[in-house]
Structure 1
Amino acid sequence: MITRRNLLAGLGAAALAPAIAAPALAKGKGAARVVVVGGGFGGATAAKYIKVRAPEINVTLIEPSPRFYTCPFSNLYLAGLRDFETIGHGYDELKKVYGVKVVRDFAQEVDPAAKTVKLKSGEKLSYDKLVLSPGIDFNWNGLQGYDEAASLLAPHSWKAGDQTRLLRKQLEALDDGGVFILVAPADPYRCPPGPYERAGLIASYLKAKKPKSKILILDSKDAFSKQGLFLAGWKQEYGDLIEWVPLSKDGKVVKVDAKSLTVETEFGTTHKAGVLNVIPPQKAGLIAERAGVTNKAGWVPIKPETFESQQVADIHVVGDATIAAPMPKSGFCANAQGKVAAAAIVASLQGRTTPNPSWVNTCYSLIGPEYGITVAGVYKVADGKIISVEGSGGVSPAAAAPDFRKREAIYANAWYQAITNDTWGTALRA
C-alpha cells in the first residue's frame, strides 16, 4: 500500500539507489558527452543522476537563469504565505558536488544530424546524447485576445517568476469586494490541480484581508483532479467565496479583453474582474519544436522505457513537454522521468541493457495553509505503453478529520523540501 510516509521515504531511497557503482565506459573511447537543456525538475535531475551513475561522462546543463523558481508552492507566495526566494533553487550543488558543467545561455537550435546544440551566444555544443526538459510554452492567441502583451495586464503566472510577482501585486491592490477571475484551460496542461489549489490559497488570503471579495473560476472542463475534495474543502473553509463554473454551465472562455479585464464565454456571457488570471492553452517548450520532436498538437511523443523521442534518435525528453499519460504533467513526474532517462542514457553509453522502469507520483494540494489533500499513482510499462498499476495510489479520504487535513499540509511541506533537495540539493550525501 502506498502511504504518504512511504512516498516521502521512497523519494530518499530512489535518490540513494543510483549511487551503486556502475561499470565504466568502454575502454578506448573518449568520455561521452551529454547535453541537457533546461534546469527544472526534469533536466536538473537527469544531469545530476547521469553524473551519479557515471561520473566520467561529460554533462553540460544549459539554463539561462541563475535560479529556478518552482511552480509548486508558488501559490503559497500568491497567498502571502511564503517568501518568493524560498521557491528559488540554484545550481551550485550540481556544479561543485556532482561535476555538472552549467552554462547560462539559451539553447536556440538543435541539429540532430550533426548532433549539435546552438546557443544564443553562437557557441555550438556537440553531444552523444541530448536531454530536453523545456517545460511548457503558451499557444498565444489560442484564446482570442490573449497574447504575450495581454499577459502583462492579465497574468497567467503559469511560469514562476515575474508573472508570479505581478499577480501578487495585483491581488494586494484588489479592492475589498473585488472579483478575482481565474480562467482554467482545457486538458492537457501543466499541473492539473494547480488552478484549483491557487483558488483555495488565494481564498485564504481574501478571507483574511478582503472578506467581501469573491473568486470566480471559469473552466473549459467539466471535471478536474481531486474535484470532490476541492469542492468540499472550499465549502468548508470559505463558504460561498469560490464559485466554479464548468464547461457545461458556460464556463469556457473564448475571448479576453485584458485592457478592460473582461472575458466572454462560449454562449456570450461577459464577466468583469478586479484581477484577471488567465491560464492559456499550452504546448511543449519551443526548443522541442526546433529539435523536431513535437507532434502536430505541440507535445512530444516518447518511448516509455527510456523517454527517448519517438521521432529523433538520441534525444530524450522529460517533464511537462512530453506525452506520458496517465502520468500527469507534474514536478514529481518530471523528477522521476529524469531519473529513468539518466539510467537509460548511461546504460546505452555503457552498452548495457536499459533498466525496466517504473514511476511513482504524488501530488499535494493545499486548500488552506493547514488543509492539505493529495493524490498518488504508480506507473509501469506494459505492451509499449505507460499504465497505472492496478490497486496502487489513490486520493485522500473524503471524510477526514481536521487533524488529518493538517497532517497532509505538513506532509506537503516535507514533500517540497525532499523533492527540491533531491533535484538541486545534497540528498545523495545524506
Structure 2
Amino acid sequence: MKLNRREFVGTGVAAASTLAAPIVHAAGHGKPKVVVVGGGAGGATAARYIAKDSEGEIDVTLIEPSRSYYTCFFSNLYIGGFRELDSIEHSYGTLAAEYGINVVHDWATGVDRDAKTVALAGGGSVPYDRLVLSPGIDFVEGSVAGWDLNAQNAMPHAYKGGSQTELLKAQIEAMPEGGTFVMVAPPNPYRCPPGPYERISMVAHVLNTSNPTAKIIIADPKESFSKQALFEEGWQKHYGGMITRIGPDFGGGNVTVDPAAMTVDIDGETVNADVVNVIPAQKAGHICDAAGLTEGNWAPVVPQTMQSRMDENIHILGDATNQGDMPKSGYSANSQAKVAAMAVRGALTGSRVFPAKFSNTCWSLIETNDGVKVGATYEATDEKIAKVDGFVSQTGEDAALRKATYEESIGWYEGITTDMFG
C-alpha cells in the first residue's frame, strides 16, 4: 500500500498499536526479509537488534560498502593523539558469525519501492519486506564556494571516519612552525553539533605541544554553537590566544576557498593557510533522495516508529532524518535504531511494540581530562521527536568532575560499539 504524505502523517499515532499484525511478506513463503542500508550507529544497531530479538524468525541483510567501519565519533580524539586509529576501527564479523546477518559489502544505488528491492552497484538487487535506511550524510554541492569533493585531499572535510581523518591528522602534524590552520565550519543542521569545536580543541592540543606559535582560525556561519561557553572557557584556559573564531557578524558565513593556492577568503580578506578543514553543509545520504524519501535536504519520519512519511515499509535512522529535536549524533542514531527494530519486529512477527523512548548524550574533550557533555531525553509526539528534559556541563567545574566526565565518555564508547557490532 502506498500512502501520500498527508494520509501517512495521519497514521503515525496509530502505527505503534497496529504493527502487531504480521504482514504477508514479499517472497510469499519462508521468513520475512529485512534489508538494512548503512552499517554505522543506526544501521548496525538495527540489524543486530532485529536479528537478535527475532531469534531467527527474520532474515536480515546488511548492505555496507566498507569492510572496516571507522566511527566518526571519537575520531577527533584520534586527531588529538588520545586514541590510536585501530581503536575506532570495527568489523562486521561478529554480526555475521554470531547473529546470522548476511553482510553485503557493496553500495546500495537505488530503491524500487513498488518491487521492494534494493539495487546494488555490483549488479543485482536484494528484496525486502521492510527496509531500514541509515546512510548518514552527504554534502551539499556548492555550499562552500571553491570547494567540492575533488578538493577533499587538499582541503579535507574529515567528517566521515577513515582515510579523511588520517589525512587531516597528517596535515596538522606537518604544519610549519608558526603556521595557520583554518576551519570552515558548517551551517545548521549537521552531524554532531559539538564536533567541529571539539576538533578545534584537539588541533589546539596538538599544536600547543609541537607548534605553539601556530594560529587557528574558525570561519563560522552560525551565530552560536553547541556548548559554546564551555569551549570558549576551555580555549582561553588551555590555549591562550591561539584560536580566533570569526562569526557571521564579521563575515564568517561569506567564505571562498582556493585549494590550489591554499587560501581562504573570509568576507574579502585573504588568509594564507597551511591546513584547511572544510566542513560543508550537509544533507541525507544519497540513497534517501534516490528513493524519493526526502523533503529538502532531509528525510521526514514518523516519530513513533521511525518509518518514512513517504513509505510505510521503509524506516530511516540517524543523521539522514528530519525527526524533530534530537541532534544528529551516533548516540541518537543508536537510540532511534532500537525503536525502529522493535517496530519492524512487531510488523513482521507480531511481537509486542512498546512506546518509543529516545535519549542522547554528546561528550567532548577540550584538553587532557577536561571533558564536557550535553544531553537530553525525548518522546514521540504526533509531529516530532520532542525534547522532554536535558542537561549540560557547567562552566567553572572542578578538574575531578571534568576528568570523570571524560572517563564516562570512554565507557560509553565501549558500550555503544559493543551494542552496534556485538
Shift of 1:280: 0.6
SS of equivalent residue, structure 1 residue 152: coil
Query: Which residue is 1:51 aligned to?
Result: 51
Shift of 1:58: 0.1
Distance 1:387 1:311, change over 3 A: same
Query: Which residue is 1:424 aligned to?
Result: 421
Query: Which residue is 1:275 aligned to?
Result: 275
Q: Contact 2:183 / 2:277 at 8 angstroms: preserved in 1? A: yes
Shift of 1:316: 0.6
Q: Contact 2:22 / 2:347 at 8 angstroms: preserved in 1? A: no
Shift of 1:356: 1.2
Shift of 1:405: 1.0
Distance 1:24 1:344, change over 3 A: closer
Query: 2 CA distance for matches of 1:249 and 1:326?
Result: 29
Query: Which residue is 2:411 aligned to?
Result: 414
Distance 1:352 1:416, change over 3 A: closer
What amino acid sits opposite 2:285 in the alignment? G
User: What pairs with 1:13-412 in structure 2 (closer than 5 Å)?
Assistant: 30-55=30-55, 56-265=57-266, 267-295=267-295, 297-351=296-350, 354-389=353-388, 392-412=389-409
SS of equivalent residue, structure 1 residue 397: coil
Shift of 1:351: 3.7
Percent pairwise identity:
47
Q: Contact 2:44 / 2:421 at 8 angstroms: preserved in 1? A: yes
Shift of 1:335: 0.5
Shift of 1:409: 1.2
Shift of 1:29: 5.6
Query: 1 CA distance for matches of 2:139 and 2:24?
Result: 43
Deviation string 1:98-121 (CA, Å, 9 cap, x unpaired) is 111101111111100000011112
Q: Contact 1:183 / 1:253 at 8 angstroms: preserved in 2? A: no
SS of equivalent residue, structure 2 residue 152: helix
Over aligned residues, Cα RMSD in angstroms? 1.8
Q: Contact 1:292 / 1:312 at 8 angstroms: preserved in 2? A: no
Shift of 1:209: 0.6
Query: Which residue is 1:4 aligned to?
Result: none
SS of equivalent residue, structure 2 residue 319: coil
Q: Contact 1:26 / 1:350 at 8 angstroms: preserved in 2? A: no
Query: 2 CA distance for matches of 1:308 and 1:382?
Result: 14
Query: 1 CA distance for matches of 2:352 and 2:299?
Result: 24
Shift of 1:353: 6.2
Query: 1 CA distance for matches of 2:117 and 2:294?
Result: 18
State TM-score, norm by structure 1.
Answer: 0.90
Q: Contact 2:219 / 2:255 at 8 angstroms: preserved in 1? A: no
Query: 2 CA distance for matches of 1:349 and 1:114?
Result: 18
SS of equivalent residue, structure 2 residue 257: strand
Query: 2 CA distance for matches of 1:189 and 1:48?
Result: 26
SS of equivalent residue, structure 2 residue 114: coil
Q: Contact 1:306 / 1:354 at 8 angstroms: preserved in 2? A: no
SS of equivalent residue, structure 1 residue 105: coil
Query: 2 CA distance for matches of 1:292 and 1:354?
Result: 28
Shift of 1:24: 9.7
Distance 1:39 1:152, change over 3 A: same
Query: 1 CA distance for matches of 2:311 and 2:30?
Result: 24
What amino acid sits opposite 1:242 in the alignment? I
Query: 2 CA distance for matches of 1:354 and 1:310?
Result: 19
Query: 2 CA distance for matches of 1:383 and 1:84?
Result: 42
State TM-score, norm by structure 2.
Answer: 0.91
Query: 1 CA distance for matches of 2:167 and 2:176?
Result: 16
Flag as ranges the 4+ runs of structure 1 deviating above 3 A: 22-29, 351-354
Q: Contact 1:284 / 1:321 at 8 angstroms: preserved in 2? A: yes
SS of equivalent residue, structure 1 residue 410: helix
Unaligned runs of 5+ in 1: 1-21, 426-430
Query: 2 CA distance for matches of 1:384 and 1:79?
Result: 40
Shift of 1:310: 0.5
SS of equivalent residue, structure 1 residue 224: coil
Query: 1 CA distance for matches of 2:414 and 2:254?
Result: 36
Query: 2 CA distance for matches of 1:39 and 1:383?
Result: 29
SS of equivalent residue, structure 1 residue 393: strand
Deviation string 1:156-181 (CA, Å, 9 cap, x unpaired) is 10011111111111111101200111
SS of equivalent residue, structure 1 residue 59: strand
SS of equivalent residue, structure 1 residue 223: coil
SS of equivalent residue, structure 1 residue 97: helix
Q: Contact 1:51 / 1:59 at 8 angstroms: preserved in 2? A: yes
What amino acid sits opposite 1:77 in the alignment? Y
Shift of 1:272: 2.0
